[in-house]
Amino acid sequence: MSLIKPKRRRGPKLLWLILVIVLVVVAGAGYVYFIVNGVNSSDEMKAEYVDYLFYWQSADNPLYYYVRTTTVGRTSLVIFPIFATIQNSKEVLDPQLGADAVEAVQSWLGTSGDFSYFVNFTPDLIDALSSKLGVNASNPVELIDAMALRGFKLFDYWKINDFVQTVKEYDVASILTSEGIAVLLRRLGNSSRMTYKLETLTEFPMKISVGVGGETVSRMYLKPDSLETVKKALAD
C-alpha cells in the first residue's frame, strides 16, 4: 500500500504572482503615459508658432538661420548674413546680441512666436548633436534636413533631455528646452519647408565709422524689396 501525498495548494501564491505582474504592468503603463503625455500636452507642442534662431559660428561663412514652425504643417527657413540690419534701425545681427537677436529678426519680418529659442551652433556642437540624433550633418542646413528626415521617434520621449544637455554643454547660454527640441523634431518631420535667403545691398559688410576714435562697425543692409517679399511669404 503506497502513501499518497496531498497536493500542495498553490492558489494563494499564484494569485500573488499575478497581482504583482499586473501592478508592474500598470505602473509601467502609467510611467509611459506620464512621460508621453507630458510632452504631447505641453504648451510648446500646442503652440501655433514656435520659432528658432541658430547662429552658425563658421570661420569662413557665419550666418543666422531663422526657423519658423507652425501647427499647420508648414515650416519656413530664413537665412540672414552676419551683421544684417535694415535702414534706419539700431538693431543689427551681431554675435554679441545672443538670444536678443531673436527679437530683431522677428521685428524685421513682422512675426512673433508663442515660444522662441536661440542656439549658438559651432562645428563641435553640430557633430555632438548629430551623433546623439543618429544623423550625419556638418552645418545647420544639413542638420535641419537630417532632422526633417529623421522626425520624432518613440524613444525620443526619453532622449530629449539628453539632446538638450548636449546643446548646453557646448552653448551654456542656449535657451533651448526639451519641449522645444521635441517640437522642432516633430514639426520638421511632419511639414513642408520653404527656404528664403535675404539679399543685401552690398556683397561684403560695410565699415561705418563711429565716434571720434576711428572705431568702425560692420553692417550688411538688407534689400527692402527682398525683406518685403519674405515678410509677405511668411504672412500668407
Which tens digit of pLDDT belongs to each residue from 164-191? 999 999 999 899 999 999 999 999 999 9
Q: Does 142 have pLDDT greater than 80?
A: yes
Q: Which of 173, 196, 200 is nearest to 100 (CA)?
A: 173
Instruction: Mark out the alpha helices in 80-210 (DSSP H runs).
Output: 101-109, 123-133, 140-150, 160-170, 178-190
Beta strands (DSSP E) in 14-162 are 49-56, 63-70, 74-81, 84-85, 115-121
pLDDT over threshold 80, residue 212? no
* pLDDT: which is higher, 127 or 173: 127
Q: Into which CATH architecture does domain 44-235 fall? A: 3-Layer(aba) Sandwich (3.40)
Its pTM surpasses 0.75: yes
pLDDT (tens digit per residue) in 46-73: 999 999 999 999 988 999 999 999 999 9
Higher-scoring residue by pLDDT: 236, 212 = 236
- Region 88-103: mean pLDDT is 91
Q: Which three cell numbers stand for residue 150?
A: 529623421
